[in-house]
Amino acid sequence: MKKVLFIIFILLCLFLCVFIKQEQNEEIKTIIKDNKNTLVAINYPKTKYKVLNKEIENYVKKIYQLFQVEYEDYKHLNGKAELNIDYEYQKIENKYLIIKLTTQMDAHDEDSPYKEMKTFSYSIPQKKIISLLDIVTNKDKIIKDIKKQAFYKYHVEDDSLFSLDKIKAYPFIIKDDILTLYIKYYQREFTYLVINVPLNIFEKEKTEPKRAVNQTQEKNVINPKEKVIALTFDDGPSKYTKEIISLLESYHINATFFVLGNKVSLYKDTLTKMIQNGNEIGNHSYNHKWMIKLDSKEMKWQIESTNKILQDELGYTPTSIRPTYGSVNQKLKDSTNLNIVLWNVDTLDWKIKDPKKIASRGLKVKDGNIILMHDVHRRTIKALQIMIPKLLEEGYQFVTIDELREVNLIRKKL
């Protein structure tokens, strides 16, 4: 009997270990789809906290279903209907976690896009979902400041907007001790009043000293007369990216990762390893908006903010951009000096579930081709495990996008 109890105890410990370990991982969930009538790009954090994750997931699910019902049969000359969900994430003094989701649904017709924001806030010590009013200590003063700014900035003087219940429900974010509140308001059409008020309740968050990463270790020698191939990955990084980097490392090969700016901070370690191993990083916009549908200003912002965060966090400057959904127009060409890079072979790993089928698509290649994959799925790793040894056997050299450009130049001269 004692033995049985002991075994149960050990099993329980093991179970708890695995369970706790799973709880530790923070990641960004990414869903990106190029469907018949719709384009979908959803990014949201999965935190260590179950209650919070459930709230966020339910909300995202609800929005996604709403979009599907609304636009499943959408047919329009201007193209597909688009759903974009992006996030902002703030951890304050290990006390609060604040996550703001911004949803945009856009049919790209005459109507202006549908925009909605929602904030989820969580108390880490209390282990529960809280509201803005649980965070601020000097409620009365804050509400007075909010009212004052609404009046001076927007000439809005409507007391019903500032009741405790209303304030509690507005989306917000807190950054550097400043509260930014978004009040949905009808003035000919729905807009958000953006109100900034100082909180003076937190110590300034300590910023980590920036460190520059040594650019690439020694390069493999590439023979331009032999066959070359470039593996590229979009939409990452994700929790699968590290494994892909290790897999590439085990074969002493490199690839190019077109990353989203909004994921750079959380996956800094992954990106550091990526660079140290000699891989290349490219720009894939900040939050995967359908770039060709943006005006020049926003298009530039998508590109430049991603470059800036790569520079600030990693000291890295990308040379290439892969436009979202592979769409290019003149405006995009005029908006950037980066090389615009598409692909020759689409593995469809975002859609096809079977790694063998993904791999067989990825193996239909020719010398000089660029292969498109996505480092946000486990099946992509499995497909790579099949593809890489076969391609090596066939005599391909794996190059990054910059190296491919060099090879093409040398070949032209020859």
Interface ranges with Zn ion (CB under 5 A): 234-235
Count Cβ atoms within 10 A of the Cβ of residue 273 and give its class: 0-12 exposed, 13-18 middle, 19 or more buried: middle
Query: What's the min distance (Å) between Cβ of 397 and Zn ion?
Result: 26
């976690």: which residue's tokens?
97
CB-nearer residue toward Zn ion: 86 or 234 = 234
**What does DSSP say about strands 81-92 and 96-106: parallel, antiparallel, or unpaired?**
antiparallel
User: Strand order in 178-187's β-sheet?
Assistant: 172-175, 178-187, 189-198
């959380």: which residue's tokens?
266
CB-nearer residue toward Zn ion: 108 or 322 = 322
Query: What's the min distance (Å) between Cβ of 41 and Zn ion?
Result: 7
Query: What's the min distance (Å) between Cβ of 105 and Zn ion?
Result: 18
Query: What's the min distance (Å) between Cβ of 232 and Zn ion?
Result: 11
Within 8 A by CB and 6+ apart from 86, the residues are: 43, 101, 102, 262, 286, 287
Q: Which helix (H) or strand (E) holds 247?
A: helix 241-250
Residue of minimal Cβ distance to Zn ion: 234
CB-nearer residue toward Zn ion: 234 or 375 = 234
Instruction: Tell me the backbone φ, ψ of residue 82, rounded to 5 degrees.
Output: -125, 135
Q: How far apart are alpha carbons 102 and 85 in whole angstroms?
A: 6
CB-nearer residue toward Zn ion: 30 or 121 = 30
Residue 393 and residue 252 in contact, taking contact as beta carbons nearer than 8 Å: no
CB-nearer residue toward Zn ion: 235 or 280 = 235
Comparing CA positions, the residue from 94, 95, 114 lying closest to residue 104 is 114
Please report how many Cα atoms fall inside a 13 Å half-sphere around the Cα of residue 64, on the Cβ side: 17
CB-nearer residue toward Zn ion: 199 or 280 = 280
Residue 288 and residue 43 in contact, taking contact as beta carbons nearer than 8 Å: yes
Query: What's the min distance (Å) between Cβ of 226 and Zn ion?
Result: 30
Give CA torsion, residues 301, 306, 310, 312, to 10 deg.
30
Query: What's the min distance (Å) between Cβ of 32 and Zn ion?
Result: 5
Sign of the alpha-carbon torsion through 230, 231, 233, 239: negative
CB-nearer residue toward Zn ion: 313 or 349 = 349
Query: What's the min distance (Å) between Cβ of 84 and Zn ion?
Result: 12
Query: What's the min distance (Å) between Cβ of 322 and Zn ion?
Result: 7
């290649």: which residue's tokens?
365
- 2 three-state secondary structure: helix
Query: What's the min distance (Å) between Cβ of 67 and Zn ion?
Result: 18
CB-nearer residue toward Zn ion: 193 or 259 = 259
Instruction: Tell me the backbone φ, ψ of residue 140, rounded to 5 degrees.
Output: -60, -45
CB-nearer residue toward Zn ion: 324 or 400 = 324
- 355 three-state secondary structure: helix
Q: How far apart are alpha carbons 101 and 81 in whole angstroms?
A: 19
